[in-house]
Chains A and B, each alone.
Chain A
Amino acid sequence: MGSIVKNGIAPAIVASALVQLTDLTLGYNRHPAVHHLGGAFLEGSLTAVVGPNGAGKSTLLKGIVGMLKPLDGEISIPGLARNDIAYLPQQADVDRSFPITVIDVLCLGLWGEIGLFQAVGRSRLARVEAALSAVGLDRFEQRPIGSLSGGQFQRVLFARLLLQDARLILLDEPFTAIDMRTTADLLQLILRWHGERRTIVAALHDFDLVREHFPEALLLSREPIAWGRTAEVLTPANLLRARQLCESWDEAADLCRRAD
């Protein structure tokens, strides 16, 4: 079971596990990137996944979203349909010179509702406008995305997440290469989602930001180091262990027999 239980911390509100990880190992070519991770992301929790580069943060998110099959163990998200999960990849695989306007990008966020054929309609369009203004991009509707700055484009992607109205939101390094003002604005959005009892998991590397805003943290270093209240996870001892543990790639690694 998860280290939340091990640490003996009872969550303030009795919440059920939304994402249950059981002895999960994820990786590439049989080499683990996330090794024997067990625990749960509780419904309504706001968790930062932290750790050094190569610790398996992105890999974990990809596993949860279903882009990567576990090498071992299990990820179970019983209560959620595909539409209930929103995912923001680290480097969205998008062509920024693509001839599409901001409003059309946002409308993609409605995909779960409208699919291929349904009309967007006036009420949904109003929601699109509201989402745009929530990320501080009023009157940007008709701008081609090629004309946006990196920060503005990240705001657009957040507005699209907003429209997806998902119960589980996975963010992979959402604030990389983004100025402080934009980071602060987007962080407000995350906190608003938290207030709406959505479950949020964000891979981050800025410890100060995590300490200040994220109630829960999972410290990964390929192996899980600690998972629970942020203050108890991000201790100097844990961080030191995380740095030491992140071993180098071993091409000729032996079979892992821990589960036997």
Chain B
Amino acid sequence: MTLADLLLTPFLEFSFMRRALVGCFALALGAAPVGVFLMLRRMSLMGDVMAHAILPGAAVGFLVAGLSLGAMTAGGLTAGLIVALLAGLVSRVTPLREDASFAAFYLISLAAGVLIVSMRGSSVDLMHILFGTVLALNDAALRLIASIATLTLFAMAAIYRGLVAECFDPGFLRVAGVSGPFVHLIFLALVVLNLVGGFHALGTLMVVGIMMLPAVAARFWASQIWSMILAALLIAVVASYAGLLLSYHANLPSGPAIILMAGGLCGISILAGGRDGVLVRLFRRRHLKA
């Protein structure tokens, strides 16, 4: 087997592999920058929470229209936004901290979601929603993921300054300007959008992996926000490509393969990352003059 056989042939030969690759690349483009900001806001677990919150909406869509892209997307989007809004509202008007209010709301919606799916669907359908079908992306799903990625990048560019300010010093923005809550809401909407877009490919649970793992890994390579975003993007793209190859050659389910690849890159980064990686800390390098 030549190198080309190993690295290129699967994609040249099978259109479902090409579709999966395009879908994952588009997903990475939108999800990786969102993940970086989630991490910087110390809301790394928020993605997970929102992914669970999407479930009842997607389930209702499934209940009404079966495995239909439109209905499940609309349902997931609605449920995710409602949970994000309610949790944000509760943490702003009561002393309950944001993480606690998100935890409360997502647990409620997770239970509701599982209940609704089990009312009609089989466990195969549940697996579908939970773990996605990256090798069976149709045109509509691809268009949806690509549109969400495009929208995300434009929206992030528009609110970039506010996002950085909100992440760095939320108290300052609350006193100095009125745009804090507004920026935060747009950002939460982007989180939900990307999760909804991703769940067709990777499922509601694992889509968080392509969002957070590259972001965490990027933290060990870059020391500025823009470079961190670029690093996360690169890592997400590499993980998608390598994960699909792994799943093809080793005949493994592709969603988990992709996320495990991202996880592997994350592990390598934690160990060998140039900025605060374990190895860098372990070996004492000569100190500088000043």
A: which residues have CB within 8 A of B?
65-67, 82-83, 85-87, 89, 92-95, 98-101, 104-105, 108, 111-112, 115-117, 144, 164
Contact = CB atoms under 8 A, between A and B. Distances in A.
B132 to A, nearest CB: 32
Contacts of A94: 168-169
B9 interface: no
Contacts of A87: 175
B169 A108 contact: yes
B161 to A, nearest CB: 6
Greatest chain A CB density within 10 A among B159, B165, B176 is at: B176
Contacts of A101: 224
B175 A65 contact: yes
A116 B224 CA distance: 20
A144 B223 contact: yes
Given A82-B178, A115-B179, A92 B224 contact: no
A98 B167 contact: yes
A47 to B, nearest CB: 19
28 contacts: A82-B176, A82-B178, A83-B176, A85-B175, A86-B175, A86-B176, A92-B172, A93-B170, A93-B171, A94-B168, A95-B42, A95-B168, A98-B40, A98-B168, A99-B40, A99-B222, A99-B223, A105-B168, A108-B165, A108-B169, A108-B172, A112-B177, A115-B177, A115-B179, A116-B161, A117-B158, A117-B161, A164-B176
B162 interface: yes
Given A94-B168, A95-B168, A99-B228, A111 B173 contact: yes
Contacts of A164: 176
Interface residues of B, number: 27
B233 to A, nearest CB: 16
Nearest to A142: B224
A189 to B, nearest CB: 18
B274 to A, nearest CB: 14
A91 B161 CA distance: 23
Contacts of B183: 116
A112 B177 CA distance: 7
B120 interface: no
A100 B168 contact: yes
SS class, residues of chain B in contact with chain A: helix
Contacts of A86: 175-176
A194 B168 CA distance: 29
Interface string B170-198: 11111111110001000000000000000
B242 interface: no
Interface string B109-151: 0000000000000000000000000000000000000000000
B225 A100 contact: yes
B100 interface: no
Greatest chain A CB density within 10 A among B165, B172, B177, B223 is at: B172
3 smallest CB-CB distances across A and B, nearest first, come from A93-B171, A94-B169, A111-B176
B83 to A, nearest CB: 25
Given A92-B169, A115-B177, A116-B159, 5 more contacts: A65-B175, A82-B175, A100-B168, A108-B169, A112-B177
A101 B179 CA distance: 22
Nearest to A65: B175
A30 B174 CA distance: 24
Nearest to A146: B223
Contacts of B162: 116
A66 B159 CA distance: 25
Interface in B221-237: 222-225, 228
Nearest to B179: A116
A67 B174 contact: yes
Given A104-B164, A116-B162, A111 B177 contact: yes
A111 B165 CA distance: 10
Contacts of B168: 94-95, 98, 100, 105, 108
Nearest to B40: A98
B222 A82 contact: no
Contacts of B40: 95, 98-99
Nearest to A114: B161
Contacts of A108: 165, 168-169, 172, 176
Contacts of B169: 92-94, 108
Interface in B1-56: 40, 42
